[in-house]
Amino acid sequence: MKSMLKNTSLQKGLVITIMAFTLQSCFVAKDYTRPEVTETENLYRTDNLPSDSISMANISWKTLFTDVYLSEYIAEGLQNNMDVRIAIQQMIAAEAYAKQGKAGYLPSISVGANATHQELSKNGQFGSIFGGGIDQYDITANVSWEADIWGKIRSNKRATAAGYLQSVAAHQAVKTQLISSIATTYYQLLALDSQLEITKKTIESRKNGVETIKALKDAGLTNQVAVDQNIAQYNSARALEVDIETAIFKTENTLSILLGKNAQKFERGSLTNQKIETELKLGVPSTLLSNRPDVMAAEYNLIQSFELSNVARSNFYPSLKLTASGGFQSLELDNLIDTNSLFATIIGGLTQPIFNKRSLKTQQEVALAQQEQSLLQFKKALLVAGNEVSNALFTYTSETKKFEFRKNEVEALRKAEQNSEELLKNGYATYLDLLTARQSALNAELNVIDSKLQQLVSIVDLYEALGGGLK
């Protein structure tokens, strides 16, 4: 007898093992593999294609930006910026869905207590027995569980996990863009400060020029037109001063928003002291797949769409569900918690969808279309990333060359201005020559500052384009 029982147990175990392997092999859900992305081969439009996998994106922003004030503002912005805080809440919501997806393998359990009174017809079959009314009390627990035969639950779990990782990448993208925006705004303030300083010196110089030209008119060496033109040029410089001060005011307000603070004035360094000594390494184009948070987010979106298409496919297959209920049930409250009041029910069901008004077919077609859409968005994100890297690198190279030319231009025009003043005093030049020389010199100095600003901004843009700021 014992031998027969032992053999029966072995047979049951063997059957269970075979069923487990069979069910595992029944998975219709596919595993995600990154598609071949040929777009990464020539993403950078440059004559010197990088062969080194190391990118300046791997450098921490604390190392890249050496200005004490700028580093302080970036740290403050990462802590208080509203867009960053919004992204954090989105990430928390996505994490909640991911936790729900992980719980898909677990059974659903519910417990309830009920008291029911039913009034029956006294002339009816049961009413005559129970005196016209029945009171019933029960405490019931319900359990349901679905077997993941086709991998639907697994795919849904992976989809929610990808959704969470996408929100994390989106949060990182916000932080990367924030670092870039704070640095760019800060450098714009420094450039405006330099332009304001030059403008103030120009105003003082033109004020002295007005006095000089008036003296020359009194000496009969020039006329009133020359005086009026000099006064007009002086007032033009004063108007430029107002414009620059307005720009400073608005730029400080922009920085305030980025830092999540009320509008205020900010302490800062000077443009001439700004140095970014980090070597501009691009890394191979494929590094954008792991460095650019927006590209990472696009791939996680693709993974989510892929897994949801698995879910849609598995909905065509039958689902195996096990349900059970049990508890205490009695007509008398005093007898509710009693062994004779116990009851239990176990149901196993296999459900195969047959006619559902095409809803499953539509769901699958939509899921596949969304998967293809996500793939195209992923490829587009790569192309945009490569374009941004190329533009930033070319801009930096151009502005570096232009900066040297601008400095030489300023030096030559300042000499021309000085010579024009001397020639005018000695009667060898007209006031128009002097006015032209002055305006040209001022414009050139402002252009030098702008070139310096564009150099710094292009480095910031390149850093952001490569996915910097996450370290």
**Residue 271's domain is classified under what CATH number?**
1.20.1600.10
195, 446 contact by CB (below 8 A): yes
119, part of any domain: no
The per-residue pLDDT for 3 is 45
Residue identified by tokens 């077997």 is 147
Q: Which domain holds residue 208?
A: 24-106+149-317+359-465
The reply to whether 409 falls in a domain is: yes
Task: Residue 463: name the closest of 258, 257, 271, 283 by CA.
Answer: 283
Global pTM reads: 0.80
Helix (H, G, I), strand (E, B) or coil at 112: strand
Phi/psi region, residue 27 (left: phi>0; alpha: psi -120 to 50; beta: rest), is beta
Residue 395 CB neighbours (<10 A): 17
CA angle 465–52–300, rounded 5-degree value: 45
Please count the structural domains in the chain. 1
Where the chain has pLDDT below 50, the residues are: 1-7, 9-25
Query: Where in 305-417 does DSSP place strands (E)?
Result: 319-330, 342-351
| 386: nearest Cα among 65, 49, 36 | 49
266 found inside a domain:
yes
CA distances from 198 to 88, 257, 418, 439 (A): 44, 28, 17, 12
Predicted confidence at residue 17, as pLDDT, reads: 39
Residue 44, domain member (yes or no) = yes
pLDDT at 156: 83
pLDDT score, position 132: 62
- Let me know if residue 329 belongs to a domain: no
Q: Which helix (H) or strand (E) holds 141?
A: strand 133-147
Q: What is the pLDDT of residue 99?
A: 79
* The pLDDT of residue 15: 44
Answer yes or no: is 68 within a domain: yes
Please indicate, yes or no, if residue 132 is contained in any of the structural domains: no
Rg of the chain (C-alpha set): 38
Residue 277 to residues 20, 42, 66, 396, 402, Cα–Cα distance (Å): 61, 27, 9, 14, 19
Asked, for residue 135, whether it belongs to a domain, the answer is: no
What is the Cα–Cα distance from 380 to 404, expressed in whole angstroms? 37
